[in-house]
Structure 1
Amino acid sequence: MPTPSSKLTVYHDIGSGKHRQLINLSDLAVSLGEDYCATLLGMYVFSGEDCAIAFKGKGENGPLKKLEKHPRVRKAFRQLGEEWNLKSHVLKQLEEFTCLRYGQDRESSMDGLRVKVLRKIVGEDEKLTSKSKIDLARLPPCHSALNHRVALYKRADESILEKSKPYDDGQGWIRTEDGVLEPVWSCGAALPNSLVNLLDTGDREDEKEEEEENEDG
């Protein structure tokens, strides 16, 4: 969406046939205001853009209504991408909004949210095994590369950028010895301690016993 201060008139061509229409995005941006437009940009990338579903099954209308009711969170989305490294208080507010998005208004941390969501998916009295038919895409996504993408969008009109490299600290990527970029899959424990008891280690123990028997044989 163009900013209200943009001198260009931008139209969005949607529909087909008799349902085709042109929406004047420039006028819409003016009516919404610059702050709200900046909020939508952060929200757009945060939600996975149009090419990836970051919050599977959560839609967009519901979260957008929740966003409108929380001015403090809107400010956090506006601050996304202002600097190349994400500030801790902005990240904290985004975590709180993610909890709201999953209907957990009393939760404020991503780890706590993941625990509750995974326990609900697995079942209160069930164990998570290698045979469990669990769609882990329903869990909240990671945030490592989020700020870098928003920062690039906000500087799309600049011909020369002075920016952090994707593999710099806090940007969500690492560079291998061969110069290949790979995502940072985890910055800490792979599983919160509160979820350890949810795992059924029986399968793994059986595999170890089989390996030991094969070695002895």
Structure 2
Amino acid sequence: MLGQDLARSLSGFHSFTGCDQIPAFAGKGKLKPLRVLKSNPAIQKAFASLGSSEMISNDIITELDKFTCEIYGIKRNTNADKQPTQIKRANCLCSVWNHSYSFESQMFSPVGNGWVLHSDENGERFSLHWFDGDTEPTNLDDILEMQHPEETSNEEDYENEQEVDNDSEEEEAINEMAEED
């Protein structure tokens, strides 16, 4: 068995790390993020809470920020005071997934939750709101504090980061976790 907290966190994890409706993190796939998720109960609880409320608590944002920094080998995020749109998109999508079994679906409005509504001659359509804030660190110190992959990752982690993400790898990792429990 996966365990209750890990099982509950998978929909939030899947939406946050990339799915059909939400872009994935560049070059990260699912395997290394899944290992990080498995090893951290606080992050599991943060992912499990996605979709339960349109307002995302600062504690959840902090945990998902730590998760993102860990998968990229960064010590800290300098833009932690801004709620990333990736979290908003994942939260909005999880609101649909978490209530998909019920006729009383609860879906948060996509507008303001990672998407914007555009109107043109063809009608209305949603498109991604990519990010808020700066696209790069504002200080040289922030860049220098990043860990280099060769210092923090062993060879296996580096190879896993280079792999192309696909469903069979994700299924294999989940099966491995189930066998361990």
Give the TM-score of the pair, scaled to structure 2. Answer: 0.61
The one-letter amino acid of 2:26's match is K
The alpha carbon displacement at 1:153 in A equals 0.8
- Work out which structure has the larger RCO, using CA pairs closer than 8 Å and 6 or more positions apart in sequence: 2
Q: Does 1:74 align with 2:44?
A: yes
Per-residue CA deviation, residues 17-60 of structure 1 (Å, 9 max, x unaligned), is: xxxxxxxxxxxxxx223322111221111111267661233232
Correspondence for 1:101:
71
User: For the residues of structure 1 that align with 2:96 and 2:22, how far apart are their CA atoms?
Assistant: 17
The one-letter amino acid of 1:97's match is F
Give the number of aligned pairs: 135
Correspondence for 2:116:
174
SS in 2 for 1:180: strand
Query: Rg bigger for which structure?
Result: 1
Q: Does 1:84 align with 2:26?
A: no
Is 1:81–1:148's contact at 8 Å kept on the other side of the alignment?
yes
User: For the residues of structure 1 that align with 2:131 and 2:35, how far apart are their CA atoms?
Assistant: 31
Amino-acid identity (%): 28
Give the TM-score of the pair, scaled to structure 1. Answer: 0.52
User: For the residues of structure 2 that align with 1:52 and 1:173, how far apart are their CA atoms?
Assistant: 10
Root mean square deviation of aligned Cα = 3.0
The alpha carbon displacement at 1:76 in A equals 0.6
The alpha carbon displacement at 1:194 in A equals 2.6
Is 1:99–1:110's contact at 8 Å kept on the other side of the alignment?
no
User: For the residues of structure 2 that align with 1:155 and 1:110, how far apart are their CA atoms?
Assistant: 34
Runs of 4+, deviation exceeding 6 Å: none
Distance 1:157-1:51 versus aligned 2 partners, 3 A rule: same
Is 1:95–1:110's contact at 8 Å kept on the other side of the alignment?
no
Distance 1:49-1:67 versus aligned 2 partners, 3 A rule: same
Unaligned runs of 5+ in 1: 1-30, 113-140, 199-217
User: For the residues of structure 1 that align with 2:24 and 2:12, how far apart are their CA atoms?
Assistant: 13
